[in-house]
Structure 1
Amino acid sequence: MKLVWSAETASKAYIDTVKSQCELQHESGVAELISAMAAGWNAKCVVETWSQGGVITTSIGLAVASHHTNGRHVCVVPDERSRLEYIQAMSQAGMSPEVIVGEPEEVMDGLTGIDFLVVDSRRKDFARVLRLAKLSNWGAVLVCKNANSRSGSGFVWSVVEGGSRRLVRSVFLPVGKGLDIAHVATSGGSSGSGKVVGKWIKHVDRQSGEEHVIRK
């Protein structure tokens, strides 16, 4: 299996997110970056968590990315009030992602094949969401927003490792209020096939600058 980063698709999603006036909101740079990442990795199942009063720009960026990849965009909210507020805000932006109400244990059990997941570190259940998420066969890109709020919490990406999961690489970016990003590989993922993932090799094309992640 070969994963190819598409700089062209990422650029289109970035530009379209900027056009949606996300830069005029209070999360400058975060929405555009996350949108470009989801689109660049050609994410087909994008999942995010959101609660009442949260910033909506990231959601707009993910909706834009899903449009470019013809993927599914799902927002998980904790209650009905959050659902109504989210739907209203996204409707004003001309978008209508799928919204699911419920606790992580209930909701994540019904979502399979996630390849791009965005959680808010300020939510107490963010670690549970990461741990319970059923990732796609090739793994997933996991993003924690507002990572600065976790200062001193002792959180490490090992919360998502174990069993069929393996942390390939992670990085912290001082964008917005902090972004923690990780690429997690799986062996069989949600399919339950039990097949073992081979060695992951990263190659950067010196001429095009494109990054290729290959499973050997």
Structure 2
Amino acid sequence: MSTDQGKPETTISGVVAIIRLRENEPDDAIATALLDGGVDIMEVTLPTPGSLDAIRRWSTQAGVVVGAGTVRTASDAHAAIIAGARFLVTPTTATDVLDVAGAAGVPVACGALTPTEIDLAWHRGAAVVKVFPVAALGGAGYLRAVREPLHDVPLLPTGGVSLKNINSYAQLGCVGAGIGSALVSADLVADRRWATLTERAGAFASAWKEGLVRRNA
């Protein structure tokens, strides 16, 4: 069983772009557009067509930190790590995934929602706890209450994070925020609107930095 001792050093911080596509394989232009906008942490979800191939390619691209999302089993973890994933993201606290990743020195962001789930994920070895779906329980207000007793747990709010609220998560002291369709939407990718993607990435990166400045003011 994984424990909170000897956690791998995390690379999961700031704006995390979640690439979750149902029909299209991830074009390499997605990574370039995000990077041009100031977002270098990218999570490619495994159900996305061609996800492992994208992770394999992007893991060699300068400046890109690419990980695998929706990792649910030990075999998923093995495949993602072999492909070059620098981090793994799970929808729940999957101990077999934590064990595989821990042995490889790869950090995991475990999905959790309640205080009990968050604390369990942290003590089982998660480098970061993905609070998902955060908007369903009140967003920043919910995390503010959770952080009071769990102040030592690095939190990554995901699910409903937008340009309107990402600033508040940075001000709360979250380690980062995961953004899916609000950043990398299926229609934008299908239409190959890379300039728009770069603009969105820049807006999210700027909003996050603004929140950090306000927190430290």
Settle same-fold status: TM greater than 0.5.
Answer: no
Q: TM-score range by the shorter chain?
A: 0.3 to 0.5
Larger helix proportion, structure 1 or 2? 2
Q: TM-score normalized by structure 2? A: 0.34
Higher relative contact order (CA 8 A, sep 6+): 2
